[in-house]
A and B are shown apart, each in its own frame.
Chain A
């Protein structure tokens, strides 16, 4: 029989009692569950967010679905650009970084086999604002604030640059989540 050096008691081999083995395996299972709870709980603690669609209406020639950013003079709208969300009183509700954009057709026109067609650059991401409401604005880098429009299906926000007319008509769900 294998004996542990410190206690002189049987190790958990064939000679250990069934009761001791059960205790050991139960302890392992409990420890594993605890480990899992600790290592996998980060996602559950994520702050509340709302879906956001930012439509950059630059009508640039791109391959549809390719990664994009705003073209000059909207080139400050790019992956990694810092943004802030403010309420009507100027209070900062959250901050973040823009994701890469995705090129979507700007016109309902069949361009045949053309690889590059007029596109807008859309950015879909989660805004760090839990409650959807009016009066919020998006500030990207040092540019002028962009008023956010409330979307209802699903609840979230939209905005478009340079003007703010079209984005609200595009359902957030059509463009999926952030890339």
Chain B
């Protein structure tokens, strides 16, 4: 009886140590199902909204990004973010899914501010945004859109009207609701 008690105590001690000093194995979440928006939709032009500042630059892949070309075909979502901003990181996959959902009818563009190049490379490798990312080192685009700190999201209608800005960021679902209105979905 005494030996059983000692054995139980030893087993309990081992369990307690294991529980106290290691994290439980996390079950990886299942990837969300992205519903792609129809490719044939009519985009609303928000003529009552102010004109959005245009820019033309290259993204982190060296591709030309001309904002006026993008809004000529449909709405554009600008996501101002930073590699060190945990709110931005937590919402990255949401906006990647948003870009995939509206791939043919609306565009998402990510805009980083002053960053260290290795950290940008690591971030892009880790998160694979799935949309063009611009490195705005001089903060010109940030200032044009009055971005004080990340995250900040701006929604531009077809033909370049600034419909809405979310200082402090937005859930992708909020942006999606606005986009659906602009696309009459």
Q: Which one of B6, B143, B167 lies within 8 Å of A72 (CB-CB)?
A: B143
B13 touches A116 (CB 8 A): no
Within 8 A of B (CB), among A1-54: 18, 21-22, 25-26, 28-29, 32-33, 35-36, 39-40
Q: Which one of B7, B20, B167 lies within 8 Å of A116 (CB-CB)?
A: B167
Within 8 A of B (CB), among A71-111: 71-72, 75-76, 78-81, 100
Q: How far is the CB of B149 from chain A (nearest CB, A)?
A: 5
Return chain B residues, CB-CB under 8 Å to A62: 168
A71 touches B149 (CB 8 A): yes
**How far, in angstroms, from A174 to B90 measured CA to CA in the complex?**
28
Q: Which one of A22, A32, A40, A70 lies within 8 Å of B149 (CB-CB)?
A: A70
B27 interface residue, CB < 8 Å from A?
Answer: no
Q: Which one of B10, B14, B17, B114 lies within 8 Å of A75 (CB-CB)?
A: B114
B121 interface residue, CB < 8 Å from A?
Answer: no
Most A CB contacts (10 A, CB to CB) among B3, B13, B149 go to: B149
A75 touches B113 (CB 8 A): yes
Return chain B residues, CB-CB under 8 Å to A152: none
B7 touches A25 (CB 8 A): yes
Return chain A residues, CB-CB under 8 Å to B9: 25, 29
Q: How far is the CB of A42 from chain B (nearest CB, A)?
A: 10
A68 touches B21 (CB 8 A): no
A67 touches B14 (CB 8 A): no
Q: How far is the CB of A36 from chain B (nearest CB, A)?
A: 4
A33 touches B86 (CB 8 A): no
B13 touches A79 (CB 8 A): no
Q: How far is the CB of B175 from chain A (nearest CB, A)?
A: 17
A-B contact count (CB 8 A): 76
B20 touches A32 (CB 8 A): no
**How far, in angstroms, from A60 to B113 measured CA to CA in the complex?**
18
Within 8 A of B (CB), among A54-73: 60-63, 66-72
Q: Which one of A21, A61, A75, A79 lies within 8 Å of B7 (CB-CB)?
A: A21
Q: Which residue of B lies closest to A33 (CB)?
A: B13
Q: Is the interface of B mostly helix, strand, loop or mixed?
A: helix
B6 touches A29 (CB 8 A): yes
Q: Is the interface of A mostly helix, strand, loop or mixed?
A: mixed
Q: How far is the CB of B92 from chain A (nearest CB, A)?
A: 15
Count of B interface residues, CB-CB < 8 Å? 28
Return chain B residues, CB-CB under 8 Å to A60: 148-149
Q: How far is the CB of B103 from chain A (nearest CB, A)?
A: 30
B3 touches A28 (CB 8 A): no
Q: Which residue of A lies closest to B87 (CB)?
A: A67
Q: Which one of B13, B82, B113, B150 lies within 8 Å of A32 (CB-CB)?
A: B13
**How far, in angstroms, from A22 to B84 measured CA to CA in the complex?**
55
A71 touches B21 (CB 8 A): no
- Binary flags per residue of B1-34, CB closer than 8 Å to A gives 1, else 0: 0110011011101100100111000000000000
Contact sample, A vs B, 27 pairs, CB 8 Å cutoff: A18-B3, A22-B6, A25-B7, A25-B9, A25-B10, A28-B14, A29-B9, A32-B10, A32-B13, A32-B14, A32-B17, A33-B13, A35-B17, A36-B21, A62-B168, A66-B168, A67-B87, A69-B85, A69-B149, A70-B149, A71-B148, A72-B149, A75-B149, A76-B114, A80-B84, A81-B84, A116-B167
9 new A-B contacts at CB < 8 Å, known A25-B9, A69-B82, A76-B114 = A26-B6, A28-B14, A29-B13, A32-B17, A40-B17, A66-B168, A67-B87, A72-B139, A116-B167
